A = this chain, B = another copy of it.
Amino acid sequence: MSARPVYVAGVGIHPFGRFPDLDVTRLGMSAVRAALAEAQVERGGFQAAFCGTVYTGVAAGHKVLTALGLSGVPIVNVEAGCASGGAALSLGAAQVASGQRDTVLVFGMEKMPRGIIRSSFFPPWCEQAGLSPAPAYFALRARRLMQESGVTRSHLARVSVKNHRNGVDNPFAMYRKPCTEEEVLGAKMVCDPLTLFMLCSPNEGAAAVVLSAAPGPIGPPVRVLAATVRSHLPGSALGEHTPMSGLIGEDPPSPTELAAKEAFETASLGPRDLDFVEVQDTDSGREILSIEELGLCARGGGGAFVEEGVGERGGKLPVNPSGGLLSKGEPLGASALGQIVELAWQLRGAAEKRQVDGARTALAHTVGRGANASVAILQRG
């Protein structure tokens, strides 16, 4: 397949947070309007739309485009857990790359209730048996990193400190207050070793991206070099898909490893070519695991990566300069596209106080129920 280039012609975001007076359709409208304005695209200017969402209900994306007077094109709602936005991006990018469409609108939105997400994933008996709490699975993975990757409680806390500090400069983030390592470690213990400050909050928000075969009006141009989504292989009892059992000693490649391998191959790039990354940090441990799985350090090197400050702003490979989900919160269907918005602004040099100097190539990554992982690689020029 001789694919055409895919440009990010415009992006838009509705802040992530809590908006009791706005319904989810309004959130989506706001992000879509902003992205279309950046791209200078109106009705007739895009030939398909994909909407990532998990819990919004029937015809979610249709309601947004109906309210904006922009319907008529194919509109498809896309669900792949917390990777829904990444899945929508991969479908839209493929349609532009293949020549099926010239311009595609991709957006995502969510309005999550407060507290632990009551996932529709588990059968009722699993919930009744106490086997459903997501933070407990996150905690097991963090503990495994402590056993196998030299990760300490201090490292877990430092990830949270870094992301909260980065979030201070992000006007679209929910939490914009810095915190100290002591505060993170001293916060309420949710599931040992994860404290409340090491876990992200499901919240509300929306993000939108216009993909096009031609660069958008705002320069410099930014291209999507790859956008992949992959599901889990059988074998591990600790994947995001949380099966009730796995096989001792068999760790098949994770969805993230599968999606990253495919993305790097498609982009003809490797981890060393990246100037910064936005990765899934549902919890502090997940960020470190993401770094390992994406090949940004050696397997088992997660503790050293944090210890050496590689991912700090100004470090060799800034991780989540936006503040990540830990400071932005996680509106499921929107979170992956929120990363793309950040990447586009950074690669254009328009990320203001968050700007990673000279950023030219970046990667975005999410993980979600299913299990799914999505990886996108964007490049300026």
Contacts and interface: CB of A to CB of B under 8 A. Distances in A.
Among A65, A69, A78, A99, max chain B CB count under 10 A is at A78
A71 interface: yes
How many copies of this chain sit in the oligomeric assembly?
2
Contacts of A71: 231-234, 241
Q: How large is the interface on A (under 10, 10 to 19, 20 to 34, 35 or more residues)?
A: 35 or more
Interface in A68-101: 69, 71-81, 87, 90-91, 94-95, 98-100
A26 to B, nearest CB: 12
Interface string A136-180: 000000000000000000000000000000000000000000000
A175 to B, nearest CB: 25
Contacts of A286: none
Nearest to A54: B58
Given A95-B94, A98-B100, A121-B58, A75 B65 contact: no
Interface in A56-73: 57-60, 62-63, 65-66, 69, 71-73
Given A1-B98, A59-B241, A75 B231 contact: yes
A316 to B, nearest CB: 31
Contacts of A94: 95, 98, 100
A371 interface: yes
A35 interface: no
12 contacts: A59-B370, A62-B369, A62-B371, A66-B243, A71-B232, A71-B233, A71-B234, A73-B230, A75-B80, A78-B79, A91-B91, A94-B98
